[in-house]
Amino acid sequence: MSHAVQHLRESGHLGRFYIDGGWREPDGQDRACVINPATETAIAEIPLGSSGDVEAAVSAARRAFSGWSRTEPATRAALLSRVHALLLERAELIAQALTAEMGAAITYARRAQVPLAAEHLRVARDNLADFAFVSQRGSTAILREAIGVCSLITPWNWPLYQITAKVGPALAAGCTVVLKPSELSPLSALLFAELMDEAGCPPGVFNLVNGTGPVVGEGLASHLEVDMVSITGSTRAGVLVAQAAAPTVKRVAQELGGKSPNIVLPDADLARCVPLGVAAAMRNLGQSCSAPTRMLVPRDRLRDVEALATAAAGEFVVGDPLLEATTHGPIANRAQFERVQMMIEAGIGEGAKLVTGGPGGPAGIASGFYARPTIFSEVRREMLIAQEEIFGPVLAILPYDTVEEAVEIANDTVYGLGAHVQGTEMDAVREVASRIRAGQVHLNAPDWDPNAPFGGYKRSGNGREYGREGMEEYLETKAVLGFYS
């Protein structure tokens, strides 16, 4: 049994929700199993929230809002600092929870999933040090005030990371929140609720209700007392949340799907940028909305790229996520595994060149939702694998003849979340980046920046997360004329 599951069982928190500063028995009777994707076995059972649970959580958040929104920024920063410290103290337990609930390789959970999540809390805390909640424009005061009660809906692929990316800035802004994590990966969320409780979060400021999208998600999105919804998920899920929220005219921030391009310019150092591009496309086993899963390369260098990409994929070790040598564990759940397999078959059926990988799982693995890292080449822009988000370890290599054509191909998608550009001449790299319709562009594989705003154009969503812009998303603007007269 996972240490995380054992811990939650012994604490009694596994079968409860965190509402109004305490652990509450669920109102409804529905339950769901948490499946370990490495073994395909149930490792825990959690309650699924009802309309009564939603009502209790929203009511608690509403009662707490008046007091929390009027606290000093230093008070909110102090809470975030305590939560940040506790998260780092419990890093190993949370990493094990992530491996158990969604299959992240334990080394990746330790190296990326947990520490990057902690960074969102640190940034939210640090932004409070000098943020101008009141500014002057002539005789008018411009006030930035907390928007109110926020429902936060988070996905299964980066469970803790997306929780902190929303909870941190929302609490920093002075909002109160109700969190609905994915029912497929709820363990890390329960552990995070424990941290909030131990850090001394005031009752009602942070609340957690597990449940399904149609019941808890829609209930939160449509609730009259919820002022804002922030969702990270598929474009389909984002549309449903926006529709549910529309009658109450609440703000909806959406971080949705992506089909990010990686433009390899003609002067790029292939030996460096191709392996980095393959690694980026398949980080978290490709289960990242901003993963650069379309690599655009000069046609006359296509064969060299194929060889380098194949070698890079050959370095991956797919297998038991608890082993230190494993770089990539299983796909997080059965439904996603089946979609990945379907898309690989679609790529073969459309005539793309299968360079490495393919359908099925790695040799020697009898159970678990394991997929083979797969690379297609000679992909055309109209192919399904070039247009639809696959959300698995599948990379499409598309050749181009001119840089102008590469930019056109990069923008030829309904998405606009992220993009990469790689080349030697920086003026050319920057110029290409300026023409890509995406919310975040990476030049020559830079380090991750938790202060860089993140969000999409087109059907990749609206609003921004991370950094100062992430906190501003949870603020209203009030003008007070004559304030300085």
pLDDT above 90 coverage of the chain, percent:
99
User: Which of 476, 477, 474 shows the shortest CA–CA distance to 168?
Assistant: 474
Contact indicator for 241, 153 with CB cutoff of 8 Å: yes
Q: Report the C-alpha gap between 396 and 87 in whole angstroms.
A: 37
Q: Report the C-alpha gap between 403 and 29 in whole angstroms.
A: 58
Enumerate the active-site residues: 255, 289
Q: Which residue has the tokens 């909806």?
A: 252
Q: Report the C-alpha gap between 377 and 308 in whole angstroms.
A: 12
Contact indicator for 376, 355 with CB cutoff of 8 Å: yes
**Which residues, in sequence order, are CB contacts of 447 under 8 Å at separation 6+?**
none
Q: Which residue has the tokens 């040799």?
A: 363
Q: Report the C-alpha gap between 417 and 256 in whole angstroms.
A: 8
User: Which of 37, 431, 47 shows the shortest CA–CA distance to 211?
Assistant: 47
Span 120-142, pLDDT tens digits: 999 999 999 999 999 999 999 99
- Main-chain dihedrals φ then ψ at residue 149, nearest 5 degrees: -80, 130
Span 39-57, pLDDT tens digits: 999 999 999 999 999 999 9
Torsional class of 284: left (φ above 0), alpha (ψ -120 to 50), beta (otherwise): left
* pLDDT tier, 101 (very low <50, low <70, confident <90, very high otherwise): very high
149 membership: H or E segment, kind and range: strand 149-153
Span 240-290, pLDDT tens digits: 999 999 999 999 999 999 999 999 999 999 999 999 999 999 999 999 999
Contact indicator for 48, 211 with CB cutoff of 8 Å: yes
Helix axes 91-102, 187-198, angle to 10 degrees: 160
Q: How far apart, in Å, are the Cα atoms of 97 and each of 103, 285, 290, 367, 428?
A: 9, 17, 24, 20, 44
SS3 of 337, please? helix
Q: For the chain, give the mean pLDDT.
A: 97
What are 142's strand-pairing partners? 135, 479
Q: Give the chain's end-to-end CA distance (angstroms, integer).
A: 67
- Domains in the chain, please, with CATH? 3-256+461-480 (3.40.605.10), 261-449 (3.40.309.10)
Q: Where are the alpha helices (DSSP H) in 174-234?
A: 187-198, 218-222
Q: Report the C-alpha gap between 472 and 133 in whole angstroms.
A: 10
Span 333-375, pLDDT tens digits: 999 999 999 999 999 999 999 999 999 999 999 899 999 999 9
**Which residues, in sequence order, are CB contacts of 120 under 8 Å at separation 6+?**
161, 164, 165, 168, 169, 450, 466, 470
Mean pLDDT (whole number) for 153-162: 98
How is residue 93 written in tokens? 């337990």
Contact indicator for 223, 207 with CB cutoff of 8 Å: no
What are 448's strand-pairing partners? none
Mean pLDDT (whole number) for 182-191: 98
What are 151's strand-pairing partners? 178, 229
Mean pLDDT (whole number) for 186-198: 98
Q: Report the C-alpha gap between 269 and 60 in whole angstroms.
A: 56
0.85 cut: is pTM over it? yes
The vertex-264 CA angle with 260 and 267, nearest 5°, equals: 160
Contact indicator for 443, 421 with CB cutoff of 8 Å: yes
Q: What DSSP designation does 378 have?
A: S
Q: Report the C-alpha gap between 82 and 112 in whole angstroms.
A: 21
- Main-chain dihedrals φ then ψ at residue 364, nearest 5 degrees: 90, 0
Q: Exposure of 57 by Cβ count < 10 A (0-12 exposed, 13-18 middle, 19+ buried)?
A: buried
Contact indicator for 99, 106 with CB cutoff of 8 Å: yes
Q: How far apart, in Å, are the Cα atoms of 218 and each of 151, 159, 243, 368?
A: 10, 19, 9, 31
423: pLDDT strictly greater than 80 = yes
User: Which of 389, 289, 290, 282 shows the shortest CA–CA distance to 340?
Assistant: 389
* pLDDT tier, 1 (very low <50, low <70, confident <90, very high otherwise): low
Q: Identity (one letter) of the amino acid at 406?
A: A
